Structure 1
């Protein structure tokens, strides 16, 4: 069996890795991961319980194995959980989040301080999702990429993982724009992703080490790529200041934006169109769901199974 994978983002790399792991040769028709890949700008949170607060239950179910899969590939995974907080005026949002999710325990101020000393005096209540994890997306992409073969021509079965670039074949695919800011603030230390339930701009802050943090959260129905808007940057930074005032003095290292591929229900799809297998639509769950989708594609090719995320053929 000969396989060519179009697209070297997280979906293509995970599928190629899973096929290779099973002894099925697969070559990627794409360059090494770069800022042109949507997954380059990802947060890298492996947070199935938090995502389950608003996502389809399949996201939680299939995302639970993501951290183990990435670790099995030799990718460093930090298993410190996720902390969800809100300002006192938004206590109702924290209560709603608790009702709509599972896998957490409620912390008081001393409990918060025990986990994150720089936040303990700022928040009186928080939800701690202890089983969750995070990774550094660009490092993860590089580790997978360097082990895989590449090609400059298609041969055999083609698996298309090009995200929004595949819209000519996947007419119901849409873009959901995400924007991010990377900052350096040595004045504070965080050991795990923090989610702030902010009324205008729900924020996540992901530690990258050495005082570097990635700020993100925007979800705009748009396929526009390129730099983030001034409004998005201002709102992200304003929400960050609400988390901790020391972030007002942070050094801005990087700004980025891209459009995530999504289907109407925000779940991924495996679909045959014109003899090509498409794996697409990771939405905001790229690093969380790509391993599960990769396993489904591999099972389909090996054992002719019909995966949960597989649509009827569109030939």
Structure 2
């Protein structure tokens, strides 16, 4: 079967995953990624592959599809499979019970057994053993390098093939809204954590994701606002306060980066592949970019292949 060129627009997580999936299936692909384009929301992601934890607020479709994400990513980039630890201060123990009722895939855990440096700080926790995490920026670099090794053109300019638009808010799909997320990256030499830790709190829950060399990503706020300006003082103080609650070593951490990104989201907060104006749009990743991009990439590829088969007949 002759396969026409497919132009994937956007080099965030949705675009790179879609281009990688299509190229891996033998399609002719080009990636349109203009230099100087706005930083994609995935640049500010935590990189957690945590479908069960996301089930607290996400619909079952996200939990089910997200369980395949770690295997997809592991076929292309390094993935750490050490699960997720969820904790809450004693005064917020009802939050832990609520979270347990709202999610699956967990078992009771002693936080100090899983993370020795947390011993004595939390009486109990929840352990999601099947979850994983990755370094999002490293993962995006590796996907891009993998496309280049396959001979995929990565360029600026007008698309020359069938369009798969993965540009997030830049794709201008009707019904999208922006959800602002704020995060910090800190160097904390006094802190050692082997897996993501989520702190539950009624007002400002946070998660801490370990990266190499005692670097940690602390995130992330969720603000229904389309302002991509600098991180607010309030957000920084709340995130740092929450991190200090998890481990006092964060009091001496050096702040390396404060960043804010705008996540594209539909009204139901579900990512989708949409046909519109002769193109496919992979969009609406909300807070599930790294978790859901592989599933959306597969869906886009399957839709294209179904149409190719119909046209060939």
Query: Deviation at 1:34?
Result: 8.2
In structure 1, C-alpha distance between the alignment counterparts of 2:198 and 2:96, rounded to whole Å: 11
Segments of 4+ moved more than 4 angstroms: 31-35
**Bigger shift: residues 191-200 or 80-89:** 191-200
- The equivalent of 1:252 in structure 2 is 255
- The equivalent of 1:161 in structure 2 is 166
In structure 1, C-alpha distance between the alignment counterparts of 2:215 and 2:103, rounded to whole Å: 29
1:89 aligns with 2:94: no
Larger helix share, 1 or 2:
2
Q: Is the 8 A contact 1:8 1:33 kept in 2?
A: no
Structure 2 stretches lacking a partner, 5+ long: 309-313
What are the equivalent positions in structure 2 for 1:182-261 lying under 5 Å apart? 182-261=185-264
Q: Is the 8 A contact 2:81 2:130 kept in 1?
A: yes
Normalization by structure 2: what TM-score? 0.93
Structure 1 stretches lacking a partner, 5+ long: 306-315
Post-superposition CA distance 1:89-139 (Å, at most 9, x none): 0000000000111100011xxx32221001121001100000000000001
Post-superposition CA distance 1:32-74 (Å, at most 9, x none): 798711111100000000001110100001000100000111x
Q: Is the 8 A contact 1:8 1:32 kept in 2?
A: no
1:262 aligns with 2:262: no
In structure 2, C-alpha distance between the alignment counterparts of 1:35 and 1:173, rounded to whole Å: 17
Query: Deviation at 1:226?
Result: 3.1
**Bigger shift: residues 113-122 or 290-299:** 113-122
SS in 1 for 2:211: strand
Q: Is the 8 A contact 2:87 2:111 kept in 1?
A: no
- The equivalent of 1:63 in structure 2 is 66
What are the equivalent positions in structure 2 for 1:100-119 lying under 5 Å apart? 100-107=102-109, 111-119=110-118
- The equivalent of 1:309 in structure 2 is none
Query: Deviation at 1:248?
Result: 1.1
Count of residue pairs the alignment pairs up = 299
Cα 1:265/1:20, change in 2 over 3 Å: same
Query: Deviation at 1:274?
Result: 1.2
In structure 1, C-alpha distance between the alignment counterparts of 2:38 and 2:240, rounded to whole Å: 22
SS in 2 for 1:77: coil
Normalization by structure 1: what TM-score? 0.92
Q: Is the 8 A contact 1:195 1:202 kept in 2?
A: yes
